[in-house]
């Protein structure tokens, strides 16, 4: 069990900072557009569409290092 925890901590420390930096560049403009230009009735839809792209990016970041590790194991 400790091996799994160590591996999870290493993985998290490797991807956290790059993901957080993109987060800080992605969400403020999305919300600025949301509050400045999107009509109130479409604000939830706008944020949900942005969240879809954000979730794709987070999934990519979470799985890209495991893909390279799997190819190195072969």
State pTM to two decimals. 0.76
Residue by residue, pLDDT tens for the chain (74 residues) are 688 888 888 888 888 899 999 999 999 999 999 999 999 999 999 999 999 999 999 999 988 866 556 666 65
Distance of alpha carbon 55 from alpha carbon 38, whole angstroms: 21
Q: What does the block give as tokens for 25? A: 């560049």
DSSP for 34-46, written as a single string: HHHHS-GGGHHHH
Which run of H or E residues covers position 56?
helix 43-73
């Amino acid at each position: 069990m400790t091996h799994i925890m160590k591996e999870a901590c290493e993985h998290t420390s490797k991807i956290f900072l790059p993901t957080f930096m993109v987060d800080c560049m992605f969400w403020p403009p999305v919300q600025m557009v949301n509050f400045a230009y999107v009509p109130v009735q479409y604000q939830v839809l706008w944020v949900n569409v942005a969240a879809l792209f954000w979730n794709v990016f987070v999934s990519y970041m979470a799985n890209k290092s495991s893909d390279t590790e799997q190819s190195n194991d072969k």
